[in-house]
């Protein structure tokens, strides 16, 4: 076994691929083309929203389906700004369901396919279910889970503001790479409001067992951030994730 073979046990990156003349070896070229096709599929495949909803209903988790200002997947990719805001109808619905006279929520969780429907189809139901149960155990008041197809991270600011939640969370598929097409991320923002920047958010990323972060570790990290964000009334660059756990190497 070569040194390159030893190193490949610890990474999915392309290392020591070799060459044939001035080009990649045929088997490496075919593998690259396959990974590229899978990354494209992850972006364009539909989110199996009905399956996701059935899982939440089975776990008795309340849900609410909303829409962004995006009309289709092509527009989502070309107009990131439209994925950051709710449609007019969805905005009105949230305003009606969460009037100012209603008691304030502690947390609202939104879910979207983001840039990888594969990630949400494979991982999101288990992660959201575990996160919901963890928040409930700790006594937080949680709004119904918001399901919003074709959303960007910043839509969680508008959702959080309209539900009057102290803290907003969005779970969505990350931009696929050539070695990780099904990576899920959790973004958390204290005091959500339109106009927040990424510097005001915390992120738990690369959630994709068995090759990345497992669900239990991701939930532990997120719950830590929720507790500290609410206790210290801040999030983002001023809030560090300080849980001490050995995650092992990424295979």
For the chain, the average pLDDT equals: 89
Give which of 47, 234, 52 is closest to 145, Cα–Cα. 52
Residue 208 belongs to some domain of the structure: yes
Domain span holding position 92: 42-232
Residue 239 belongs to some domain of the structure: no
Read off the CATH number of the domain in which 52 is found: 3.40.50.11240
Q: What is the pLDDT of residues 123-176, one digit of tens each?
A: 999 999 999 999 999 999 999 999 999 999 999 999 999 999 999 999 999 988
Q: What is the pLDDT of residues 105-129, one digit of tens each?
A: 999 999 999 999 999 999 999 999 9
* Residue 28: band (very low, low, confident or very high) from pLDDT cuts 50, 70, 90: confident
- Residue 247, pLDDT above cutoff 50: no
Q: Please state the pTM of the whole predicted model.
A: 0.87
Q: What is the pLDDT of residues 58-76, one digit of tens each?
A: 999 999 999 999 999 999 9
Domain count, the chain: 1
């Amino acid at each position: 076994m070569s040194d390159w073979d030893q190193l490949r046990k610890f990474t999915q990156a392309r290392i020591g691929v070799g060459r044939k003349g001035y080009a990649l070896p045929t088997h490496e070229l075919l593998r690259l083309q396959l990974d590229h096709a899978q990354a494209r599929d992850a972006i364009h495949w539909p989110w199996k929203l009905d399956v996701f909803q059935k899982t939440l209903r089975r776990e008795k988790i309340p849900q609410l389906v909303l829409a962004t200002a995006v009309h289709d997947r092509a527009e989502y990719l070309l107009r990131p700004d439209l994925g950051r805001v709710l449609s007019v109808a969805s905005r009105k619905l949230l305003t009606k369901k969460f009037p100012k006279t209603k008691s304030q929520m502690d947390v609202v969780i939104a879910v979207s396919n983001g840039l990888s429907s594969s990630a949400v189809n494979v991982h999101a139901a288990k992660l959201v279910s575990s996160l919901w149960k963890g928040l409930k155990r700790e006594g937080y008041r949680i709004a119904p889970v918001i399901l919003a197809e074709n959303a960007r991270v910043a839509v969680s600011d508008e959702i959080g503001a309209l539900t009057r939640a102290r803290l907003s969370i969005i779970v969505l598929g990350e931009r696929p790479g050539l070695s990780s097409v099904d990576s899920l991320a959790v973004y958390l923002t204290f005091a959500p409001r339109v106009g927040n920047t990424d510097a005001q958010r915390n992120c738990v990323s690369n959630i994709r067992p068995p090759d990345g972060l497992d669900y239990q570790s991701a939930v532990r990290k997120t719950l830590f951030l929720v507790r500290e964000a609410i206790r210290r009334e801040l999030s983002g660059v001023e809030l560090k994730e300080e849980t001490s756990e050995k995650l092992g190497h990424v295979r």
